Structure 1
Amino acid sequence: MTVPKAQPESPDRRSLHERIAADLRDEIMSGEIPPGSSLPSTAHLKARFDASNATVQKALQLLKDERLVVGRAGAAVTVREHRQRTVRPASFMAPASPGEPYRWLAEAARSGASARSTLLDVGERRPPADVRTVLGLPEDGLALLRSQILFIDGEPVELVESYYPLDIARGTPLTGRRKIPGGSPTLLAELGYPPRLSVDRVSARVPTQRQYEALNLPTSLPVLRTLRVVHSDHERVIEVTVLVKAGHLYELQYEFTPE
């Protein structure tokens, strides 16, 4: 009697259906499987990944939960139009022209999307440690927080927490519980602190409970966390923002020119 050889254990500790979903997700996001096309058949995926029907269906359900594909049991599963959006951070730093909305809203509108923001919190708060460090605050130091969530086509896509030095913010519209026409870059410029340099530190992280709920994440996919530091004249830090984006919805585009 021949004893079948045991399959070598994978160094990837995720369950098989999660690994299958990860490979298919990458092919969808890279355009290898373009929008409007059907995913390979269940029989093909079973053979490709050496998986059972139930395991393949669990993988497909993950992609459906993430709204990357649509379909029902027994029918072809189709890739949705790409929801992934390209962000160009430099395009949001300059103040908006008179009468224009915040540049993030204008950029979304130009791409044909419906965008809006909801203000969540305004007040003097103790920032996270990395924000305190940038602002030069002691452990119990305070800054003005303006927190909001951004929506595209009705879907929450970004949690934004902006902190301002109190000597800049106090007595200005930054402390008001209403949206700022043209966004903070416009107001800061009007206050005599025009944005001159923005520095981003981007990391991929597992979402916190608050981030998971605020962004209505379908699974435990990573989020993109950006720590954005905005400088004015004489390298004065005028704004520090923590931006958290759903990782499966965004890619970042940075443009460079040779020095």
Structure 2
Amino acid sequence: MPSTLQLTTRFGASNATIQKALKALKEEGLVVGRAGANVSVRPHRQRTMRPADHIAPTAAGEPYRWIADAEQRGWQASSTLLHVGEVEPPPDVASALELADGGTALLRGQLLTLDGESAELVTSYYPVELARGTAMMERRKIRGGTPTLLASLGYPPRQCVDLVSARVPTQEQYELLQLPSELPILRTFRVVYSDDERPIEVTIMAKAAHLYELRYAFGS
């Protein structure tokens, strides 16, 4: 990139303003710089994610679709299980799962990484009556993911509804995603339905908004 002096001259801005702008770019990971060296632009890092690719169950013995898709695209993907337990979910989740007042749900939370970088914080809720007595209640990963397990129990995913918005991150999201300051997250609130429009899963996904975009394709 041009020197600080060149940038102040080109844009007619003060040195303090230029330094603040460069700091913001470094925090976002868009440029890198070392003491005594010029600031340089990093390769394009924004990833395009295709949510529809990860909803269906996997074939027997295959890994979770999100991880398989990432590896096919040349990324090293992994997941870390953070939380497993029965909780009283937030009101919007309880409503989407059609729970009675004071009803509980199974919570499974995980952190997904790509190439060693925090990529997505995933918090999923399931009706307890579907999860009891299954591997979903255990603090361990599920081969093929929960869509595969639910399908084996007779609850295959039939429809998925996403609500996507930009939000100020919570403290947990800020820390786990290692976010730069003053940047939003890309939040997806997803409800998955099985046969007879029965809700079987609500998932809240949080991504660093400056690193990801979502691709949806629609047919007539």
Q: TM-score range by the shorter chain?
A: over 0.9
Q: Distance in 2 between matches of 1:112 and 1:191?
A: 33
What is the root-mean-square deviation in Å for CA atoms of aligned residues?
1.5
Contact 1:125 1:144 in 2 (8 A): yes
Amino acid at match of 2:7: L
Aligned to 2:113: 151
> Counting strand residues as a fraction of each chain, which structure ranks higher?
2
Runs of 4+ in structure 1 deviating by more than 4 angstroms, as ranges, are: none
Aligned to 1:242: 204
Aligned to 1:167: 129
Aligned to 2:60: 98
Amino acid at match of 1:98: A
Amino acid at match of 1:232: S
Check if 1:111 corresponds to 2:73.
yes
Higher Cα radius of gyration:
1
Contact 2:169 2:185 in 1 (8 A): yes
Percentage of pairs with the same residue: 64
3-state SS, counterpart of residue 104 of structure 1: helix
With the length of structure 2 as denominator, give the TM-score of the two structures: 0.94
Contact 1:207 1:220 in 2 (8 A): no
- Decide which of 85, 106, 113 is 1:123's aligned counterpart: 85
| Cα offset, 1:48, TM superposition | 4.6
3-state SS, counterpart of residue 210 of structure 2: coil
Aligned to 1:72: 34
Aligned to 2:169: 207
3-state SS, counterpart of residue 187 of structure 2: strand
Amino acid at match of 2:115: D
Contact 2:98 2:199 in 1 (8 A): no
Aligned to 1:191: 153
Amino acid at match of 1:94: A
Q: Distance in 1 between matches of 2:4 and 2:219?
A: 47
Amino acid at match of 1:65: E
Count of residue pairs the alignment pairs up: 220
With the length of structure 1 as denominator, give the TM-score of the two structures: 0.81
Structure with the bigger RCO (C-alpha within 8 Å, sep 6+) is 2
